[in-house]
């Protein structure tokens, strides 16, 4: 026998997991049991920054975030473990005026070994 309070809590949990982008909108409560550690890690800010191409590696993404080069909606965010919600990915970028924005957009010069292969 389920109480009204239990139903409210189930609904809140499911909506939270869906908002975080770990489940699809039509997900069910039972689907939460199928989530893996990787599903959670994919929603961390440092992983999203790396996947968006703002950093070359996850480690570099973490450094950019901690040093204040990354912004969400134009506001600095310095927590690499921040869980990015669905729809927030489009608002992530370099903090206005960050020197990293210019550096990361510059084309890289090929190394001597790469030039030899061409």
pLDDT digits (tens, 9 = 90+) for 66-82: 999 999 998 999 999 99
Return the half-sphere exposure (C-beta side, CA atoms, 13 A cut-off) of residue 50. Answer: 16
83-112 confidence digits (pLDDT tens)? 999 999 999 999 988 888 778 776 555 555
pTM over 0.95: no
64 with 70: CB under 8 angstroms?
yes
Give the C-alpha separation, 115 to 81, whole Å: 39
User: In the CATH hierarchy, which fold is given to the domain comprising 36-107?
Assistant: 3.10.290
Whether the Cβ atoms of residue 64 and residue 100 lie closer than 8 Å to each other: yes
Would you kindly state where each structural domain of the chain is located, as residue ranges? Answer: 1-35, 36-107
| β-bridge partners, 83 | 44
């Amino acid at each position: 026998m389920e109480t009204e309070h239990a139903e409210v809590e189930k609904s809140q949990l499911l909506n939270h997991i869906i908002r975080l982008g770990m489940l699809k909108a039509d997900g069910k409560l039972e689907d939460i049991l199928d989530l893996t550690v990787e599903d959670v890690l994919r929603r961390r800010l440092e992983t999203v920054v790396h996947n968006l191409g703002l950093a070359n590696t996850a480690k570099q993404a973490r450094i950019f975030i901690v040093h204040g080069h990354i912004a969400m909606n134009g506001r600095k965010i310095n927590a690499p473990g921040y869980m990015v919600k669905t729809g927030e990915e489009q608002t992530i970028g370099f903090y206005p005026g960050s020197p990293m924005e210019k550096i990361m957009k510059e084309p890289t010069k090929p190394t001597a070994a790469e030039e030899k292969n061409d």
